[in-house]
Amino acid sequence: MKQQKMTYSFKTESLKKTYVSGETQVHALRGVDIEIPSGELIVMLGPSGSGKSTFLNIIGGLDQATSGHVLFRGQDLAALTNRELTYYRRENIGFVFQAYNLVPSLTALENVALVTEIAPDPMDPMEALEIVGLKERARHFPAQMSGGEQQRVAIARALAKQPEVMLCDEPTGALDSATGIVVLKALMAVNQKYGTTCIIITHNASIAELAHRVIYFADGNVSQVKINESRKSPEAINW
C-alpha cells in the first residue's frame, strides 16, 4: 500500500513548559504531542489558563519550551541560535494579537510597509491591504480607523511578508460581533487565497465552526481534536 505523507507546518513532541516563580511551579504545558497540517485554518479553544497562548508563543519562537520538541517543517526550533530564531520568526511567522500594535504616526500603508522592508519575499503592501478590504483606507492613520479596521491592518501587516503561518491570539477579543466577523473573513481570505496555515486562539466557541480543525486545550494538554466535515461562513455563526 502506498503510504501518504502528511505535510505539516508544526509537529510537537512531548512539549512541556513550566514557569517557576520562587517556590511555585506552573505547568502551562504538560507534554503536548500534535501535528498542525499545512494550509489549514485551525481554531484553538479551551478555558483561560489551559496553555493556548503558551503553546502559540513557543511554536512562534517567542518563548522556549522547558522540554520536548517543536518541529517546523522538520526543523527543530530548539536547535536554532537566537539569531536563527529571529530569522525564523521574521521569515515564516505572521503574528496577530488582540492589541493591534500599529504605529500611530504611520498610515495603514506605512504600517504594512514597515514589515515588507525587512522580509525576504514580501508582497506589495497595497495588495495586502486589498485582501483585507482596506485599499481605500491606505492613507488613513490608525486613530482615523475603527478597531476592526485597525485589526485588519494588523492582519495585512502580518500577511504582507508572505509567511507560512499566521498565529492569531484572540484576534477578535476586543471587537463587537459585526466587526469580528469582518476580521474573520479577512483571515479566511488569507487562508484560502495563499494557503497560509492560520491558527486562531479564541474564547468564542462559535468561531470553531469556521475551522478545518479544532484543537481543544485543557489543563496544559490537548484534550480533543475535531475535524469539521463542513464549515460555516462567518456570517452564519452565532456570535
Shortest reach from residue 46's CB to ligand ADP, in Å = 5
Is residue 195 at the binding interface for ligand ADP, with CB under 6 A as the rule? no
Tell me the window of 43-51, 110-118, 131-139, 229-237 that interacts with ligand ADP (CB under 6 A): 43-51
Checking DSSP bridges between strand 165-169 and strand 197-201, what pairing results, if any? parallel
Shortest reach from residue 77's CB to ligand ADP, in Å = 17
* Residue 203 CB partners (closer than 8 Å, separation 6+): 45, 48, 170, 173
Of 7-26, binders to ligand ADP (CB under 6 A) are 19, 21, 26
Of 210-229, binders to ligand ADP (CB under 6 A) are 217
Is residue 49 at the binding interface for ligand ADP, with CB under 6 A as the rule? yes
Shortest reach from residue 62's CB to ligand ADP, in Å = 11
Is residue 234 at the binding interface for ligand ADP, with CB under 6 A as the rule? no
Interface residue with ligand ADP among 11, 46, 154, 168 (CB under 6 A) is: 46
Of 155-174, binders to ligand ADP (CB under 6 A) are none
Nearest CB to ligand ADP, comparing residues 52 and 152: 52
Tell me the window of 5-13, 41-49, 101-109, 179-187 that interacts with ligand ADP (CB under 6 A): 41-49
Shortest reach from residue 186's CB to ligand ADP, in Å = 22
Shortest reach from residue 223's CB to ligand ADP, in Å = 12
Residues that bind ligand ADP (CB under 6 A): 19, 21, 26, 28, 46, 48-54, 217
